[in-house]
Amino acid sequence: MSRKNENTSFLCAHCGKSVTALTNGSYRNHCPHCLYSLHVDNIPGDRQSRCRGIMKPVDVRFSGKKGYQIVHRCETCSTEKVNRAAFDTDLPDDLNEIIKIMTRRLHL
């Protein structure tokens, strides 16, 4: 599947909000409103996972190379994936949701 086909609008399976495709050359793989994702890839971009479970945002990391990254854990199979946060777009990731994730982690 080409990157152009991956970069499409979708309805979030968790919150139901409409999510537009990114226009900055990248593609969106999680909802900017609630930060949830779907388990659709085995290898990033392949869309070959048969699981299709909802991926809950469970942590936020910082990488000097990739910036802020959201750690997602599949609620069906417990697989974890890391996705770059999107801030430089017309519909950026909700910073309040990122702060909530970081705060939850600190209280565990």
Contacts for 70 with CB less than 8 Å, ≥ 6 apart: 30, 35, 57, 59, 60, 82, 83, 84, 85, 93, 98, 101
Other Cβ atoms less than 10 A from the Cβ of 70: the count is 25
Domain span at 9: 3-106
Q: What is the pLDDT of residue 51?
A: 95
> Span 5-11, mean pLDDT?
76
Under a CB-based contact definition with an 8 Å cutoff, are residues 11 and 24 in contact?
A: no
Q: What is the pLDDT of residues 19-72, one digit of tens each?
A: 988 777 777 889 999 999 999 988 877 889 999 999 999 999 998 998 999 999
pLDDT band at 1; cut points 50, 70, 90: very low
pLDDT at 97 over 90: yes
Q: What is the mean pLDDT of the chain?
A: 87
Residue count of the chain = 108
> Span 64-91, mean pLDDT?
92
Q: How many domains does the chain have?
A: 1
pTM to 2 decimal places? 0.85
Task: Show the tokens assigned to 11.
Answer: 């309805």
Q: What is the pLDDT of residue 108?
A: 59
What is the rounded distance in angstroms from the CA atom of residue 85 to the CA atom of residue 67?
8
Q: What is the pLDDT of residue 15?
A: 96
Q: What is the pLDDT of residue 106?
A: 74
